[in-house]
Amino acid sequence: MTSTLTTSTPTNPGYVAGTWDIDPAHSEVSFVVRHMVVSKVRGRFNQFEGTIVTAEDPRNSSVEATIVAASIDTNQEQRDTHVRSADFLDVEKYPSLSFTSTAVRPSGEGYEADGELTIHGVTKPVTLELELNGFTPDLYGGTRAGFSAKTEINRQDFGVSYNGPIPGTDNAMVLSDKIALTLEIEAVLRKDV
């Protein structure tokens, strides 16, 4: 992976280069979508995996992640069943969502990670605002790293277009097209074999 340096690289005290496996027990992949114009519904995916490579030069780092679509959890089973159906994610036909980075570059105090996001069988470019939270030894003789990332997507871009008008309004829709995605990731450094 290559990228062009556009600003100075942020300092990362304690930075550790290596290959990391996402620890799903200590990580979260969540989203927020506006409902009925007046509220927000929050949800998460409970099953995911991924690999992060922190290169000696952070701009050459990369990430690959896969999410099990059927693991969606909005804390309401009837809604979750509907979101898993062909009206939304169609998990029988498209069992996973995925992200593969294509470039990492400094941005302010953090980084931006460009990549290809696949949802509902459609792949589109997205940019994640990325924060490197640090590195630390763990209780088992290993090393852990923390990352936070966020982005906003338009679900229509991925063919997830089910919706309906709110009666008595001027074209207001039940669900917003925009979805905010947030990732809080803890990863474990692979030990040399």
102-118: per-residue pLDDT in tens?
A: 999 999 889 999 999 99
Does residue 128 sit within a domain? yes
pLDDT tens-digit readout, 146-177: 999 999 999 889 987 766 554 555 665 557 78
Is residue 13 in a domain? no
101-104, long-range: CB within 8 Å, 24+ apart, which pairs?
101/1, 101/61, 101/62, 101/63, 101/64, 102/1, 103/1, 103/2, 103/3, 104/1, 104/3, 104/58, 104/59, 104/60, 104/61, 104/62, 104/130
The enclosing domain of 88 has a CATH number of 2.40.128.110
How many domains are contained in the chain? Answer: 1
153 domain residue, yes or no: yes
Which of 3-17, 120-134, 154-168 bottoms out in mean pLDDT, i.e. has the lowest? Answer: 3-17
pLDDT band at 40 (very low <50, low <70, confident <90, very high): confident
Identify the pLDDT of residue 163: 64
Q: What mean pLDDT, rounded, does the chain reach?
A: 88
pLDDT band at residue 97, thresholds of 50, 70 and 90?
A: very high
Q: Is 39 among the domain residues?
A: yes
Q: Is residue 4 part of a domain?
A: no
Q: Which domain holds residue 183?
A: 20-189
